[in-house]
């Protein structure tokens, strides 16, 4: 398999992963909206001893979302680093000629 085809396959795979990540974030947004509605209609501030308990409970609600966003951020940084390494390697090998054939895929260089 040529370098340009390998690169295109990597980009296609990364696009598929990005679509999946978008679906995950959309599902989490819906879940958090449902949680917000539940909190607004169910939880009463009188149920808490003081403001610290209320803040701690609020933090627990959002902890899951924070962990998901942190994981996605780390994954995206990894993708960016790998793409950077691939592009640097391609430049070192003089891969500009290989990329000329990608114009038909909208990569007009």
Mean per-residue pLDDT for 6-12?
84
What is the per-residue pLDDT across 20-70, written as a single tens digit (0 to 9) for each?
989 988 998 898 889 888 878 877 767 777 778 777 877 887 788 788 889
In a domain, 108, yes or no: no
In a domain, 79, yes or no: yes
In a domain, 90, yes or no: yes
In a domain, 40, yes or no: yes
Can you give the residue range of the structural domain that contains 82? 3-103
Averaged pLDDT of the chain = 78
Structure tokens at 44: 């009463």
Mean per-residue pLDDT for 83-105?
63
3-state secondary structure of 87: helix
Q: Which residue has the higher pLDDT, 4 or 23?
A: 23
In a domain, 109, yes or no: no
Number of domains in the chain: 1
Whole-model pTM: value is 0.61
User: Contact 17/109 with Cβ under 8 angstroms?
Assistant: no
Q: What is the per-residue pLDDT for 20?
A: 92
Query: How many CA atoms, within 13 angstroms, populate the side-chain half-sphere of residue 60?
Result: 7
């Amino acid at each position: 398999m040529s370098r340009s085809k390998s690169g295109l396959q990597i980009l296609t795979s990364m696009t598929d992963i990005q679509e999946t990540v978008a679906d995950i974030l959309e599902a989490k947004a819906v879940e958090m909206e449902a949680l917000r509605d539940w909190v607004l209609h169910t939880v009463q501030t009188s149920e808490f001893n003081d403001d610290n308990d209320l803040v701690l409970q609020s933090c627990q609600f959002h902890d899951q979302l924070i962990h998901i966003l942190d994981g996605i951020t780390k994954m995206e940084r990894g993708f960016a680093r790998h793409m950077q390494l691939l592009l640097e390697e391609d430049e070192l090998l003089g891969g500009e000629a290989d990329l000329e054939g990608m114009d038909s895929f909208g990569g007009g260089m």
